[in-house]
């Protein structure tokens, strides 16, 4: 009888410890998860308020508030020269029959 009582006590203690451990583990998981957004415009006002004022995201958001992609850079002054370098790693098969002539 004492043996069965000891086993029952041991099972109760182990279940209690397991439950406490699982609660602790789940609370740690919740703290580490953050919402991820593709773009700052998807964030709510509360989410934006939680971002520190000097964070990189907040600084960029403030700079881009007045950005209009339809206007070229330095539109009041001279046009901006843009230089692009292209490096070609490889060509596929080249056939004379599929070439296009420019006229």
Residue 21 included in any domain: no
State whether the Cα torsion 37-42-43-44 is positive or negative.
Answer: negative
pLDDT of residue 38: 45
Could you report the per-residue pLDDT of 11-67, keeping only the tens digit for each? 767 766 666 666 555 555 555 555 555 465 666 777 767 767 777 877 887 778 777
Rounded mean pLDDT of 84-92? Answer: 87
Rounded mean pLDDT of 67-83? Answer: 80
CA dist list (Å): 25 to 22, 33, 89: 5, 13, 50
Distance from the first to the final alpha carbon of the chain: 102
Residue 20 included in any domain: no
Domain that holds residue 44: 36-66
State whether the Cα torsion 19-21-26-31 is positive or negative.
Answer: positive
Residue 79 included in any domain: no
Q: Please say if the pLDDT value at position 75 is more than 70.
A: yes
Residue 29 included in any domain: no
Query: How many domains, the chain?
Result: 1
Residue 98 included in any domain: no
Residue 48 included in any domain: yes
Residue 19 included in any domain: no
Residue 1 included in any domain: no
**Distance (Å, whole) CA 31 – CA 29:** 6
């Amino acid at each position: 009888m004492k043996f069965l009582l000891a086993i029952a006590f041991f099972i109760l203690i182990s279940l209690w410890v397991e439950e406490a451990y699982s609660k602790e583990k789940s609370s740690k998981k919740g703290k580490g998860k953050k919402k991820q957004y593709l773009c700052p415009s998807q964030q709510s006002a509360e989410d934006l308020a939680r971002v520190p004022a000097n964070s990189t995201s907040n600084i960029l958001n403030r700079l881009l508030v007045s950005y209009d992609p339809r206007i070229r850079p330095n539109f009041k002054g001279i046009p901006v020269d843009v230089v692009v370098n292209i490096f070609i790693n490889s060509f596929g098969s080249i056939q004379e029959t599929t070439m296009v002539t420019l006229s």
